[in-house]
Amino acid sequence: MKKKIRHFTLLEILIALSLSLIISGVLLFYYFQMSRVANLSEQATVRAFELRTLQNRLQNITLSFVKPNNRSTFFFQGSTPPGLFLSGTNTLIFSYDNGIVFDEALSNQVLGRLFVDPEKNLTLLTWVAREKWEAHVIPRFHREVLLKNVEKFSMQFLATNEEDASKAYLDLIFNQWIDHWRKEYQRLPALIRYKVQQIGQKEEIFAFPIIGPQTKVIYKS
Amino acid sequence: MIPKKKKRHLTLLEVLIALLIVSMALPILISSFVFTYSEQEKFLDEVILDRLANTVFVSLFEDLLANRISYKDLEAERETALSEAQMGLGSKNFEGTFSFKKLKPEKPDKSSNYFVELWRANLNFKRKKSEKVRPFSFDFLVIRDLTAQNAPKESNAEEEKEKK
């Protein structure tokens, strides 16, 4: 007599199904959690790298500012006519020491401009030094995008009391942050803050001391 | 008639051993992910702290330039906790301290009224609820001009003249 084969009961199948559902549910939950964390972590790393690179570049430029004399060297905030610059952003024109680079004309002392272009790129434009400009010839320049998707860019300056300064400079309030730096000051500030905000991100502040006689701590008592 | 061979099913013990092996392997698989993540977090901390230290130093330097930190406070060389305002956005995850130390000259020239000194600002940061400290240091110059303070007063000189 053939032995009767025992099949699974409906209850057993249901239990097996619910167990596998629970296990696959837990596994899927962990998988999605892990991929979400990995995604966020990657985004954070990319952003941290971008900001780190920007900090290094801004620091290098800031430490190389050259004292302005308004003939061959400059340091002031320029105007930002629409079309060339993103409206609502600031621009800084300055002379700085670019060190030794491949293009000999752009080595050593050069003229720089920090601004946000209409495509929302925080840009550093470097020209050859002002005294090397020739009449009717567009001066050589180098364009460098420091950060993309920038919607706000501004600066703040801190001035200290200096002897033999221009009248415009002496009218400043010292040791307080100010939003504008005019050509007539003919001085470098002691400290500078760059405020940068990318689309959908919080504002980031980069602050640096500027090397020079204006950046000295003096105690008279 | 050939008797049908009886199928041998898995015993409970075998199933439990299998489960045990699987549960031993899972943490190893997960730990590699956790390790990568924690290493990435440490690296991010380094990057964030580097920028934070720079910002905090500028804030301290601003106070030094305006003499809001007195020379006596500098000389005290004591470690002070950074306030939330000084830490800015970094105060959410980190806490920090600062202290100053004079590097040069070790022994000042007492006959002079004008000193140029090299100082170091030491900043220490750590993630909240963590013990690992990340130190940063920034050097700066301090000028002590005591010429006016130690100069003989004109009124005193006049009084002495009158007495004579």
Q: Mind listing the pLDDT tens digit for each residue in B101-125?
A: 999 887 767 777 788 899 999 999 9
Q: Mind listing the pLDDT tens digit for each residue in A80-104?
A: 777 788 888 899 999 999 998 888 8
Q: In what order do the strands lie in the sheet with A177-178?
A: A177-178, A150-158, A191-198, A204-209
3-state secondary structure of B141: strand
Q: Which residue of B has its CA nearest to A46?
A: B44
Say if residues A6 and B5 touch (Cβ distance below 8 Å).
no
Q: Which has the minimum average pLDDT: A7-11, A111-115, B68-72, B104-108? A: B104-108
Give the pLDDT of residue B159: 59
Question: Which residues in chain B are contacts of A209 at CB distance < 8 A?
Answer: 58, 61, 140
Q: Mind listing the pLDDT tens digit for each residue in B132-160?
A: 899 999 999 999 888 777 766 555 555 55
- Give the count of Cβ contacts less than 8 A between chain A and B: 83
Say if residues A77 and A85 touch (Cβ distance below 8 Å).
no
Say if residues A181 and A158 touch (Cβ distance below 8 Å).
no
Q: Compute the distance between CA of residue A69 and CA of residue A3 in angstroms, rounded to an integer.
A: 108
ipTM surpasses 0.85? no
The long-range contacts involving A97-100, CB below 8 angstroms and separated by at least 24 positions, are A97/A64, A97/A66, A98/A64, A98/A126, A99/A64
Q: Mind listing the pLDDT tens digit for each residue in A45-72?
A: 888 889 999 999 999 999 999 999 888 8
Higher pLDDT, B88 or A146: A146
Higher pLDDT, B104 or A178: A178
Question: Which residues in chain B are contacts of A51 at CB distance < 8 A?
Answer: 47, 51
Q: Mind listing the pLDDT tens digit for each residue in A26-49?
A: 888 888 888 888 888 888 888 888
Higher pLDDT, A132 or A144: A144
Contacts of A172 (CB under 8 A, 6+ apart): A159, A178, A185
Mutation choice for B interface testing from A52, A217, A220 by most B CBs within 10 A? A217
CB contact under 8 A, A191 and B65: yes
Give the pLDDT of residue A17: 84
